[in-house]
Amino acid sequence: MDDRGISQHAARHAGSLRKADIEPFHAIAISRLAHTLQSEGRSVIHMEFGQPSTGAPRAAIEVAHRILDSDPMGYWESVPLKQRLARHYSDSYRVSADPEQFILTSGASPALVLALISRFSPGDRVALARPGYVAYRNTLKALHLVPVEIACGESERFQLSAASLAALNPPPAGVIIASPANPTGTIIPPQELQAMVDVCRARGIQIVSDEIYHGLSYGERTHSILEFDPTAFVINSFSKYFSMVGWRLGWLLAPKEHLHRARAFVGNLFLTAPSLSQHAALAALGAHEELDGHVAVYKRNRKLLLDALPRLGLNAIAPPDGAFYLYANIGHLTDDSFNFCKDMLKETGVATAPGIDFDPVHGREFVRFSFAVSTPQIETAIERMVPWMRSRQRS
């Protein structure tokens, strides 16, 4: 093909990739309004985002102070941190991983992008649960991949299953699994994970597992997909269990056969993760006693919300097995969850996330509460919401 032919081919290819149609993250609009109200002197309880109200572990902060005084830092990927992460997978999941399989990223979002562009090509179909994290659908669209949303309702515990993957025809190129899930907190049992892996292996479906909420469960422990499928891509972060949201540090654990491509992308698109955060994260990995104390607070908050459901008039919820969310059906009160959340925020000072972020089909009748705040804040939020919800039911 001569230069003219190459140019024509490139033009045709570019023309086939239309601008991605990305929906806004509506919880951000709710949060913006919440901060505006706060600046006006209003008391606001932030239950709209999935972020711990606690800070980084004390040991991590101490290390950060020391590094700031002694190290000019720069572009860098911490070998000790990757080695410690490999040991974490061995200790937590009995999984063997080469430290070089870990690619450190500025949070889990770049790790998701890396996994998708390293494994898939434009036009590939990737399955995911609905309801599910808003950025899955929109990141797929932005990368010119095709999201194949599988409706997961109460009978499916709002989760994907081996049966739902087996029913897809034709099979997708990949699937995004999240356990515990956002927005529901539901966990996929180990036997179902194994069945899903069996289906994906038989049908040639690549698994991308988002394990960002691991460490946050209120019953049986969470299982990594690597216990069942060593060829899966795994995404994780220090934001949730490790309470280091603002430090922007995550990782992609990539299969060896795709590692070279993933490293080429990360070097060109993102360079390296923040050096200071890498130093701090190494210390955070040894702070489980402090961090498990946070989980105990979430567990108390979860119970308070569950006990308050009858008073709130909320009967249909997803079972919050893990993470720190309660996903509730408000269809008896509204079919416009976004304005419902805005009204509740303005009138009670409680900020929540509208279901339309997580489910473009049925999300108008759902709302997500994050209980990763302090217990006194949960108690105050319930006191404010009970009379407001009752007034909505009457009207």
pLDDT tens digits, 309-365: 999 999 889 889 999 999 999 999 999 999 999 999 999 999 999 999 999 999 999
Nearest to 324 by CA among 55, 53, 85: 53
331, two tokens:
């269809």
How confident is the prediction for the chain on average, in pLDDT? 93
**Tokens 């509208």 map to which residue?**
354
pLDDT for position 115: 98
User: Is beta strand 366-370 parallel, antiparallel or unpaired with respect to 353-354?
Assistant: antiparallel
Element (H, E) at 134: helix 134-142
Torsion of CA 360, 364, 365, 367, to 10 degrees: 90
Using 50, 70 and 90 to split pLDDT, how confident is the model at 248?
very high
pLDDT for position 319: 82
pLDDT digits (tens, 9 = 90+) for 199-243: 999 999 999 999 999 999 998 889 999 999 999 999 999 999 999
pLDDT for position 346: 97
Using 50, 70 and 90 to split pLDDT, how confident is the model at 17?
low
**Tokens 């500025």 map to which residue?**
106
The maximal CA–CA distance of the chain, rounded, in angstroms, is 73
DSSP one-letter string for 361-381: TTGGGEEEEE--S-HHHHHHH
Domains of the chain: 20-54+289-394 (3.40.640.10), 69-286 (3.40.640.10)
Number of neighbouring beta carbons within 10 Å of residue 267: 12
**pTM, whole model, 2 decimals?**
0.92
pLDDT of residue 114 exceeding 90: yes
- Among 9-23, 38-52, 370-384, the range scoring the smallest mean pLDDT is 9-23
pLDDT for position 24: 81
Mean pLDDT in residue range 281-296: 96
Report the distance separating Cα 22 and Cα 135, nearest Å.
10
**Distances in Å between the alpha carbon of 64 and those of 104, 146, 194, 274?**
18, 41, 40, 12
pLDDT of residue 14 exceeding 70: no
**Distances in Å between the alpha carbon of 28 and those of 46, 326, 354?**
12, 18, 10
